[in-house]
Amino acid sequence: MYSSNRHAQFSDANGAFHFTDLPPGHFPVVVRKPGFFNDEQMGNRRNDDVATIPSQANFVVKLVPEAIILGQVTGAHGEPLERILVTAQRWQIEDGRRQLQPAGAAVADDQGNFRIAELRPGTYFLSFAPFGSRSIYGGPGPKKADAPGYGAEFYPGVADFTSATPITLTPGAQFQADQALTIQATFQISGRVVGARSLSVAVIDSEGEPAQHDVRLDPRSGEFHISGVPAGKYTLMARALNAVSIQVGTMLTSRVLSPRQQLTAYIPLSVTSDVSGVVLALAPGISIPIHLDDETTKDTSGNSHRVFIRLVPANAGRFSQQGAVVPGYDRGQTLPASIDNVVPGTYTIEARPFGGQFYVADLRCGTVDLLRDSLTVGSSGSMPPIDVTLRDDGAQLTGAVTQNGKPIQAGVVIYSPDYPERSDIARSSDNGSFFSQNLAPGTYEVFAVPNPQSVEFHNPAAIQNYLARATSVTLGAGGQSSVQLELPPTNEDQP
Partner 1 sequence: MNSLIVLVALALVSSHTTAPRAKVVQAEQAAQTTRAEAGIFRIAGIIVDANSGAPIPGAQLAISNADDSAETTADDGGHFSFDALPPGTYMLSATARGYVSASYDQHGRFSTGIVVGSGLDSQHIVFRLPRQGVIFGTVTDSQGERVRRAQVMLFEVEPLSGSQRPVRRANTQTNDLGQYRFAHLNEGRYYVAVQARPWYAEPGFTHPPEQAAGDSSFQDYQKSNPLLDVVYPVTFFPGVADPAAANELHITPGDQEEADVELTPVPSAHVLVTGLPGDPPNGPTAYPNIRADERIFGSSMGLFASIQEREVSPGTWEVDGLPPGQVTLTIANEPGPSLSQRTIATDVSDGGTVDASNASDAPGATVSGRVIWPAVSASGQIRVVLVNARLRESFAAPVRKDGTFSFGPSQPGTYRVALAANAANGGQRLYVESVSATGARVVGRTIAIPASGNVDLTVKVGFGLGAINGVAKLAGKPAPGVMILLVPSSGQDVAIDSRRDQSNSDGSFRLLNVYPGKYILMAISNAWNLNWTDPVALNPYRDKGEAIAIVSGQNQNITVTVQPLLK
| Out of 47, 101, 123, 133, the residue judged to bind partner 1 by CB under 8 A | 133
Minimum CB distance to partner 1, residue 197 (Å): 6
Q: Whole-angstrom Cα distance, residue 56 to residue 47?
A: 14
Q: Which is nearer to partner 1, 52 or 242 (CB)?
A: 242
Residue whose C-alpha is closest to residue 234's, from 258, 263, 264, 211? 211
- Phi, psi of 162, rounded to the nearest 5 degrees: -65, -25
In the chain, the N- to C-terminal Cα span, in Å, equals: 34
Indicate the SS3 state at residue 48: helix
Map the footprint of partner 1 across residues 45-84, applying CB under 8 A.
66, 68, 77, 79-80, 82
Binding mask 152-191 for partner 1 (x = CB under 8 A): ----------------------------------------
Contact 67/175 with Cβ under 8 angstroms? Answer: yes
Under the criterion CB under 8 A, does residue 217 sit at the interface with partner 1?
yes
Q: Which is nearer to partner 1, 135 or 296 (CB)?
A: 135
For residue 171, give the DSSP letter: T
Q: Whole-angstrom Cα distance, residue 400 to residue 80?
A: 58
Q: Whole-angstrom Cα distance, residue 333 to residue 392?
A: 18
Q: Kindly indicate which of the ranges 140-148, 283-291, 389-397, 457-465 contains the residues binding partner 1, using the contact rule CB under 8 A.
A: 140-148
Q: Whole-angstrom Cα distance, residue 449 to residue 467?
A: 12
Q: Which is nearer to partner 1, 27 or 434 (CB)?
A: 27
Q: Which is nearer to partner 1, 239 or 306 (CB)?
A: 239
Minimum CB distance to partner 1, residue 4 (Å): 6
Under the criterion CB under 8 A, does residue 197 sit at the interface with partner 1?
yes
Map the footprint of partner 1 across residues 233-272, applying CB under 8 A.
239, 241, 243, 245, 262
Question: What residues are paired with 98 via a beta bridge?
Answer: 93
Map the footprint of partner 1 across residues 270-299, applying CB under 8 A.
none
Q: Which is nearer to partner 1, 222 or 432 (CB)?
A: 222
Phi-psi map region of 13: left, alpha, beta (phi>0 left; psi -120 to 50 alpha): alpha
| Out of 137, 175, 266, 415, the residue judged to bind partner 1 by CB under 8 A | 137
Indicate the SS3 state at residue 460: helix
Q: Which is nearer to partner 1, 338 or 341 (CB)?
A: 341
| Out of 144, 255, 298, 469, the residue judged to bind partner 1 by CB under 8 A | 144
Q: Whole-angstrom Cα distance, residue 467 to residue 50?
A: 33
Q: Whole-angstrom Cα distance, residue 242 to residue 470?
A: 54
Q: Kindly indicate which of the ranges 109-117, 155-163, 377-385, 404-412 contains the residues binding partner 1, using the contact rule CB under 8 A.
A: 109-117
Phi-psi map region of 15: left, alpha, beta (phi>0 left; psi -120 to 50 alpha): left
Q: Exposed/middle/buried for 374, CB within 10 Å: 0-12, 13-18, 19+?
A: middle
Tell me whether the omega of the peptide bond preceding residue 166 falls within 30 degrees of 0, making it cis: no
Q: Which is nearer to partner 1, 30 or 231 (CB)?
A: 30
Q: Which is nearer to partner 1, 279 or 467 (CB)?
A: 279
Q: Kindly indicate which of the ranges 197-205, 284-292, 345-353, 440-448 contains the residues binding partner 1, using the contact rule CB under 8 A.
A: 197-205
Minimum CB distance to partner 1, residue 419 (Å): 34
Q: Which is nearer to partner 1, 207 or 492 (CB)?
A: 207
Buried b (16+ CB within 10 A) or exposed e, 389-419: bbbbbbbebebbbbbeeebbbbbbbbbbbeb
Under the criterion CB under 8 A, does residue 28 sit at the interface with partner 1?
no
| Out of 122, 138, 259, 411, the residue judged to bind partner 1 by CB under 8 A | 138
Under the criterion CB under 8 A, does residue 115 sit at the interface with partner 1?
yes
Contact 462/377 with Cβ under 8 angstroms? Answer: no
Under the criterion CB under 8 A, does residue 198 sit at the interface with partner 1?
yes
Write down the H helix ranges in 296-418. Answer: none
Minimum CB distance to partner 1, residue 238 (Å): 10
| Out of 216, 255, 298, 406, the residue judged to bind partner 1 by CB under 8 A | 216
Which amino acid is residue 410, in one-letter code? Answer: A
Q: Which residues bind partner 1 (CB under 8 A)?
A: 4-6, 8-10, 32-35, 66, 68, 77, 79-80, 82, 106, 109-111, 115, 117-118, 133, 136-142, 144, 197-203, 209-219, 222, 239, 241, 243, 245, 262
